[in-house]
């Protein structure tokens, strides 16, 4: 299963924070929907009208999929998917 890497900025929004979550799925979209199924509190941070939030950055195995193709990007066993929301602490 792909592994989602959850940064502190998202962990703080989770009812049961985890820094890594293994989820089923063969695409980024599958993996994120599996995450929000278990953690519905993240739904509004990750998605807007079922589309990826435009300011959320996703990286798959340290590469950046094109934003418009991100949800369809293939992930495989052991893939690491990093989710980075915008932050502005200064």
Q: Residues 1, 9, 14, 26: which binds another protein (CB under 8 A)?
A: 9
The Cα 69–Cα 72 span in angstroms is 6
Strands 57-60 and 51-52, by their bridges, are unpaired
Contact 3, 77 (CB under 8 A): no
Q: Residues 3, 5, 30, 43: which binds another protein (CB under 8 A)?
A: 5
Contact 51, 8 (CB under 8 A): no
* Binding footprint of another protein, residue count (CB under 8 A): 26
By the rule CB under 8 A, 53 interacts with another protein: yes
- Positions touching another protein (CB under 8 A) are 5, 7-9, 11-12, 19, 44-45, 53-55, 57, 59, 62-64, 67, 82, 84-90
């Amino acid at each position: 299963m792909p592994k989602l890497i959850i940064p502190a900025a998202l962990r703080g929004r989770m009812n049961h924070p985890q820094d890594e979550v293994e989820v089923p799925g063969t695409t980024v979209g599958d993996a994120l929907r599996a995450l929000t199924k278990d953690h519905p509190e993240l739904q509004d941070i990750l998605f807007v009208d079922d589309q990826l939030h435009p300011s959320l950055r996703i990286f798959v195995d340290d590469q950046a999929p094109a934003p418009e193709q991100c949800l369809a990007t293939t992930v495989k066993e052991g893939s690491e998917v990093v989710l980075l929301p915008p932050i502005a602490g200064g």
